[in-house]
Amino acid sequence: MSESRTIYNPIQKDYVTFLETTEETNGKYTLVDVILAAGGGNGIHYHKAYEERFECIEGELKVQVGKVIHTLYPGDVITAKSYDLHRFFNESNESCRFTVTINPGCRGFEESLQIAYGLARDGKCTKKGIPSTLDHLAILLTLSESNLPGWQSVLEKGLRWVGKKAEKKGVKAELQKQYVTI
């Protein structure tokens, strides 16, 4: 695997390798390989445009879909369908490795990961990995086609508005030029 297809997030301490991109599969899917450090994970969210299929390769991975937390071991698979609230995390003391298949493929998902990890590497995020500027956060939310649940959806609407303004100012194009290489 070419190193140029692997990105690293020093805050979350995880690696993502792009195995197959949306372009390479003619839009059918995106496939990434993730090595997630102990204690790593993401927040609860959902997607309207695609589903995510998680397959544990090494170690132990927790995936919450709806209100149920599933523990995956090597060979175990679970899918968060469109509109399913979900998150993944690693409660073990060891790194875990898993693949995520985005179906259908989503170029915005691919770009948002590259930008988010680049911002983290460049020290442009908080200690929790949230972009330090509202424009950057809004662009990432829009690109990834991620949606926030419950009361957070009120914030999401405001962020999407900020994202449109930031895109008109050229912020999205700048981030893509600086960080999107795959």
Domain boundaries, the chain: 3-106, 108-179
CA angle 152, 96, 94 (to 5 degrees): 105
CA angle 110, 111, 115 (to 5 degrees): 125
Q: Looking at residues 134-144, what average pLDDT do you find?
A: 93
Asked if pLDDT for residue 146 goes beyond 80, the answer is yes
Residue 96: strand pairing partners:
36
Categorize the per-residue pLDDT at 1 as very low, low, confident or very high, splitting at 50, 70 and 90.
Answer: very low
Q: Confirm or reject CATH 2.60.120.10 for domain 3-106, answering yes or no.
A: yes
* Helix-helix angle 134-144:171-179, to 10 degrees: 70
- Tens of pLDDT, residue by residue over 52-76, are 999 999 999 999 999 999 999 999 9
Q: What are 76's two structure tokens?
A: 């175990």
pLDDT of 158 reads 86
- Tens of pLDDT, residue by residue over 27-56, are 999 999 999 999 999 889 999 999 999 999
Asked if pLDDT for residue 130 goes beyond 50, the answer is yes
* pTM for the structure as a whole: 0.91
CA dist 60 and 91 (Å) reads 8
Q: Looking at residues 110-118, what average pLDDT do you find?
A: 97
Q: What are 114's two structure tokens?
A: 């590259």
